[in-house]
Structures are given as structure tokens and as C-alpha cells.
């Protein structure tokens, strides 16, 4: 892959909330959450262990509770102790965590609020695919549900865009991205579910190019995990995060109304 330019922005994270048992951080794109495919590159788990090096030296073992895609920014929860790992893991399995995302999509949806309950599975299970991870809507897929609400409509260089609040009530792979694309509102910068999956294949082979910038507008998909609520020790913990700077900058480029 051509490494002349970054995928999106410098790998970075900051602490949003912390206790002796857990820590919530906001990660930037394209920071991966854990080591992947044997590649040597910065990752969130490594960063957390470096930040908490004293606790690690005293036996702490960090465990990721929720995982975000490389190109998704926002809130991530990490347990510090075995007790927290078990408790938070159970809460995740029982769907007791509330998550909200903000997405920037192409176009102005005809709806103000809607719910998508179309089932999703990996496309390769039912048809040939050039992208192993690509998901699709299919009746044999797993049940899933996402609630959507339009927060704002705007234009940029005369082209329509919208800011959407997304609330996934299940946690399927690429759920929000697939549901929005199916609804006719693909996420800006999405290399797989946006203008064409050819964008993803070109990116894999050539890296970020001027041609891709023209087609995708952003070097990563415009999806940010902005709310994460979870139960812990009989208390509901609420965490919230501002939209990432690169997405704020994109919105700031809106045409004057």
C-alpha cells in the first residue's frame, strides 16, 4: 500500500471518564483498537497500557469491552480488572449498554425519524464477493435493529448532506453503515458501502489518492460513537463525546444558508 499520506488523522485518544475498575476513552480514526494481522502499528490497547503503565506493572490487564472499526472514531470502554471484565462483558451480552453514533450521510432523507430492522449477514455466505468483510441485507441474516433521527440538513458546494443520530439496538458487523446505505443515505467517506466498493479495493492497492478524495470527500467514513451508557455496580454510567475534529471541519464547510 502507498503510505505517502495518512488514512485519516494521526492515531490519538483521550480519556473521557475513568474509575479504578474501568476507563472510557475517545479514539480517533484510523487508530485500531487492538493488534491486527500481525502488523506492527500503534493500537488503542497498547496506548492504554502505556498510559496506565504503573497499574499494568501492578498486575492490571486491560480488556476491551466494545470495539470500533479502524475508521470509526469515538467512545470505547476498557475494563481494568477481571471483575470489571466479567461484569461489563455480561452487560454487553445482555444488551444493557446504550450506544449512540453520529453519522454524516449523502443527501436529505425523506424521513425525520425511522427504524431499520432488515437482517444482515456476511455477503460471502450467500454470494461471491471481492471484499471478505462486506455485509449485506439478506433474509437469512441475523436480526438487527437501528433507530435513526435527522439532526440537521445542509449543503456543501451545492451538494446535499445530513447529520444523522444512529442508535443501534443490536451489534452486528457494519450494522449502521449497511442500514444507512440500504435506506439510500450512505455515510460520507465509506469505501465499502458508499459510491462503489471499487473505492475500497483501490485504497487497499494504492492507498489514499486524489481520485479517491474526489469520490469519497473524506479519507474515512464519517461515523463517530458519541454516547456510551453502561451499568456498573448498580449505577448507570453516562459518557458523552463531542464530534471528532475532522467531521466538525467537514460540517463547518457547509454553504451559508
Which residues form the catalytic set? Answer: 69
CA 200, CA 9: separation in Å to the nearest integer? Answer: 18
Q: Are 101 and 226 within 8 A, CB to CB? A: yes
Is the previous residue joined to 30 through a cis bond, with omega within 30 degrees of 0? yes
Please give the grid coordinates belonging to residue 135: 455485509
Please give the grid coordinates belonging to residue 189: 467517506
Give residue 130's Cα distance to chain centre.
Answer: 22
CA 25, CA 163: separation in Å to the nearest integer? Answer: 23
Residue 194's closest CA among 99, 103, 74, 97? 103
Amino acid at each position: 500500500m502507498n503510505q505517502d499520506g495518512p488514512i485519516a488523522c494521526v492515531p490519538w485518544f483521550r480519556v473521557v471518564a475513568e474509575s479504578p475498575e474501568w476507563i472510557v476513552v475517545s479514539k480517533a480514526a484510523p487508530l485500531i483498537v487492538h493488534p491486527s494481522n500481525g502488523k506492527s502499528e500503534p493500537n488503542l490497547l497498547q496506548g492504554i497500557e502505556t498510559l496506565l503503565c504503573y497499574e499494568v506493572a501492578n498486575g492490571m490487564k486491560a480488556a476491551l469491552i466494545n470495539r470500533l472499526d479502524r475508521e470509526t472514531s469515538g467512545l470505547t470502554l476498557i475494563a481494568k480488572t477481571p471483575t470489571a471484565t466479567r461484569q461489563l462483558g455480561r452487560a454487553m451480552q445482555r444488551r444493557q449498554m446504550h450506544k449512540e453514533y453520529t453519522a454524516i450521510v449523502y443527501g436529505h432523507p425523506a424521513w425525520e425519524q425511522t427504524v431499520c430492522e432488515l437482517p444482515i449477514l456476511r455477503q460471502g455466505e450467500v454470494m461471491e464477493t471481492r471484499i471478505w468483510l462486506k455485509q449485506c441485507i439478506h433474509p437469512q441474516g441475523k436480526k438487527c435493529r437501528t433507530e435513526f433521527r435527522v439532526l440537521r440538513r445542509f449543503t456543501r458546494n451545492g451538494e446535499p448532506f445530513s447529520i444523522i443520530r444512529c442508535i443501534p439496538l443490536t451489534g452486528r458487523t457494519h450494522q449502521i453503515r449497511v442500514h444507512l446505505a440500504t435506506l439510500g443515505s450512505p455515510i460520507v467517506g465509506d469505501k465499502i458501502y458508499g459510491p462503489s466498493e471499487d473505492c475500497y479495493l483501490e485504497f487497499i492497492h494504492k492507498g489514499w489518492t486524489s481520485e479517491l478524495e474526489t469520490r469519497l470527500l473524506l479519507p474515512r467514513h464519517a461515523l463517530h460513537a458519541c454516547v456510551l451508557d453502561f451499568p456498573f455496580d448498580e449505577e448507570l454510567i453516562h459518557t458523552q463525546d463531542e464530534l471528532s475534529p475532522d467531521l466538525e471541519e467537514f460540517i463547518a464547510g457547509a454553504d451559508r444558508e
